Structure 1
Amino acid sequence: MGTPSEPRSSTMRRSQRHGRRLPRRAAADRRSFRGALSTLEQLASAGAQVAVHVVDLDSGEPVLTGDDHVTMPIGGLGVVPLLVEVAASITTGRLDALELIDRASLDPVVTAGLWRHLVVPELPVCDLAILAAAAGDSQAVNALLGRVGIERVQTRMLELGLPSLAILDRYRDRRGPDDAPHLAVGNARDLASLFTQLVNAKAVDPAVSAQVSEWLSLNQDLSLVGAATGLDPFAHDDDAHRILFVNKTGREPGVRVEAGVIAGPRAGVAYALIVCFDDLSITHRLRAHDAFRVLGVDLMEYAH
């Protein structure tokens, strides 16, 4: 692992047990990521697959990287590429924001979300986008995906220079042998890049970037990296301490993912962390969750 005096060009040390590259601090002269480095190294040494990418929004320089090129499952974070395509389609008139979609037209999914608990059977596209962003609603995601299509989402990501990000399938309660093994895949570098483009108004165009960022600012899952911000998970878009926080999380069995942006008075960063682990016990799961929270603390120190 790196030390404060380690030159930027030094090679990342590999885990002796698994042969995977561990995270390194790429800008040792900036605020320390010592806690995150130690925690992520321990996770990798225990057998987890870890990928991380943190980039300074002002300089564009990466400040923490590790296996960020490796494509891994990203669960519900596949919603973000979908929302980009939905917003772009609305902007161009290809999709009507007020078009109603009937829940009865969708295959039932009870994995996650709020819509299945609501009385209203039809919702407009714009409200479904809010449910997808704020609550990771599985039926809302499936409804939107049915309207824009997997192919258009993938084409959009290629146009944005993010080839690793791909939605493979809709939400399902159970995945059979003929189904894609994951909802979505991607690498940490492209995830962080997507959020960088969103906050810099370069994801398609300023209007699309602003709309997607607005939807994501409603995300209520602050249980991972977001736990370090101290923000209200139900109202964190106008914080008195000048914290800008936009994020999305993803979960699958043995997979935890988060990507987003944290900006404060001193700096701003885009980040992505993917952890794939053996979910053998609650201890294994909590160890993975703790890595996100430690990274969150380091990100907050960097930004403030």
Structure 2
Amino acid sequence: MGTPPEPVEETSQPTLRRSRGTTRRLPRRAAIGKRTFTSTMRALEQLADAGARVSVHVSDLDNGGEVLAGDDHVTLPMGGVGVVPLLIEVAAGFESGALDPLEIIDRNSVEAVAGSGLWRNLRAPALPLSDLAVLTAATGDPLAANILLRRVGHHRVLARLDSLGLERTTVLDQFRDERGPDDAPHVAVGTTRELAALFSALVNAQAVDAAVSSQVAEWLSLNHDLTLIAASTGLDPFAHEHDRHGLLFINKTGRESGVRAEAGVLAGPRAGIAYAMIVCFDDLSIAHRLRAHDAFRILGLELMEYTH
């Protein structure tokens, strides 16, 4: 993946201003000569000025060094990114024999989730666990994810998170159309620092073991949502496992009302990075939403410059 050039000195430390009166540091610039993250910092500062909560972390795959960071220790809701530790537990179950990949489960075995998903529009009323893992990774299908969570057990996913050393990242609940007072407020929460480390472990064959890491990375390589950071890669959303230009890419996105999140790995001819970004914002209008999306795409462009 290449050796990063020598770092350059920082001349000042900008601040990320919040409308609520707190002070946040801007993400530090990438120490890669001209390959800086100035536009990303500007976009994040504008979001913070508008009251958004922002967290970002980018690390180098070769040496683990920090490339970019801002409030990466803060735990924030991350929506569907929470299926990644679930998929790791499922893959570990397949590998150990505790789960049968061909076990058929009916979708009516869990409460319906009407808001999104692909499986609810298919004729097949039941699918094997291995297909449910593919649906979960590729389309974020909430029914498939809920069935996997019920089958492996919430407690086992939490235990897996502990074994992976993730102290501020957890899966709170299944997907729901509506959340009542007795339900967890979010599907999952986490920090961008831990999410980037988790994706780095996956591509470096260190998430449980090489077989589990490879299986989960293969599932995530099928993800169809390339609308945030991944929009800048130019990859085909439906077939990007073997890019003709040698781009290695896996990712997972998360969406809730007022929440956008993405974590992944991007590697090109000059460098490879693991990244994660979460933005929590007031979703008052399409304009508010598009400003948040723009920040992800700006980071994506600068990540492409960094790796190429």
TM-score range normalised by the length of the shorter chain: over 0.9
**1:165 is aligned to 2:169:** yes
Quote the Cα distance in structure 2 between the aligned partners of 1:36 and 1:12: 13
Shift of 1:11: 5.7
Counterpart contact for 1:220–1:233, Cα < 8 Å: yes
Quote the Cα distance in structure 1 between the aligned partners of 2:64 and 2:246: 21
Shift of 1:14: 4.5
Counterpart contact for 1:267–1:302, Cα < 8 Å: yes
**1:211 is aligned to 2:222:** no
State the match for 1:200 in structure 2: 204
State the match for 2:4 in structure 1: none
**1:222 is aligned to 2:217:** no
Matches within 5 A, 1:253-292: 253-292=257-296
State the match for 1:233 in structure 2: 237
Pairing partner for 2:37 from 33, 39, 45: 33
Quote the Cα distance in structure 2 between the aligned partners of 1:15 and 1:192: 24
**1:294 is aligned to 2:294:** no
Shift of 1:104: 1.5
Quote the Cα distance in structure 1 between the aligned partners of 2:286 and 2:18: 26
Counterpart contact for 1:81–1:165, Cα < 8 Å: no
Counterpart contact for 1:27–1:62, Cα < 8 Å: no
Shift of 1:185: 0.5
Kindly provide the CA deviation profile for residues 60-103 of structure 1, in whole angstroms up to 9, marking residues without a partner as x: 11110000000000000001010000000111111111111111
Quote the Cα distance in structure 2 between the aligned partners of 1:83 and 1:12: 38
Quote the Cα distance in structure 1 between the aligned partners of 2:287 and 2:24: 23
State the match for 1:15 in structure 2: 17
Counterpart contact for 2:55–2:278, Cα < 8 Å: yes
Count of residues paired in the alignment: 300
Shift of 1:45: 1.5
Shift of 1:16: 5.9
CA RMSD of aligned residues (A): 1.5
Counterpart contact for 1:50–1:276, Cα < 8 Å: yes
Kindly provide the CA deviation profile for residues 96-147 of structure 1, in whole angstroms up to 9, marking residues without a partner as x: 1111111121111112211111111110000000000000000000000001
**1:136 is aligned to 2:146:** no
State the match for 1:107 in structure 2: 111
TM superposition score normalised by structure 1: 0.95
Amino acid at match of 2:174: R
Distance 1:266 1:165, change over 3 A: same
Kindly provide the CA deviation profile for residues 173-229 of structure 1, in whole angstroms up to 9, marking residues without a partner as x: 000011000000000000000000000000000000000000000000000011100
Counterpart contact for 1:154–1:165, Cα < 8 Å: no
Kindly provide the CA deviation profile for residues 126-172 of structure 1, in whole angstroms up to 9, marking residues without a partner as x: 00000000000000000000011111111111111111221101111
Quote the Cα distance in structure 2 between the aligned partners of 1:299 and 1:11: 21
Shift of 1:30: 6.6
**1:72 is aligned to 2:76:** yes
TM superposition score normalised by structure 2: 0.94
Shift of 1:269: 0.3
Quote the Cα distance in structure 1 between the aligned partners of 2:65 and 2:305: 17
Pairing partner for 1:93 from 93, 97, 100: 97
Q: What SS does structure 2 have at the residue aligned with 1:140?
A: helix
**Percent identity (aligned):** 64
Distance 1:28 1:240, change over 3 A: closer
Quote the Cα distance in structure 1 between the aligned partners of 2:177 and 2:213: 31
Distance 1:285 1:14, change over 3 A: closer
Q: What SS does structure 1 have at the residue aligned with 2:23?
A: coil
